[in-house]
Structure 1
């Protein structure tokens, strides 16, 4: 951009700001004059029924949480690029059963969501939806 173009743009922006500030002040004064003649509103709020308020909130929460519980967490699930498809197993020397990571990564590499995880799935079962 040349200096002339930049200067002309700055001058146009300054002129627009000056015009808008004048219009805004006139509009605000006119609105204040019209509102001065109106009576002050009197409002009486009704009592809120807590059972209906809580019932509506929990019903809406179920619709909001249900898609999140089933959301696919591994974008590469069931593909050749899935890094969670590889498992690691360790066989202890003392004759214990092998410990493998596939129990944790299996539900994710199969395309599951948070509700399919071993521990988190049971905890998410408490939420509605």
Structure 2
């Protein structure tokens, strides 16, 4: 919970049971720790063949800009190298666009008609 709160994702922590179920339902989840503290997390939802959805990438603000986020993303995507389409949704924070583009993602459209501050990214491999 603390990690989600530390990055301002309090909507996830309003229902701890739902968050726990979402994490448990992930296809793959990777966590980074500093001692006993959870400082990073990335998770994938995928059918394992045609699409791979990068659901969450969180890094504690004290550990941001250290390469931890990149390492987490590369780790969770590695088993899906054979999957052509990789997608993610994120908010419109300026640094996120550069981060995901550095990982090979490209922005696809604007707010998708939702009216929400939302960015969609896609990456095609193989």
TM-score normalised by the chain length of structure 1: 0.20
User: Greater strand percent: which structure?
Assistant: 2
Point out the structure with max Rg over C-alpha: 1
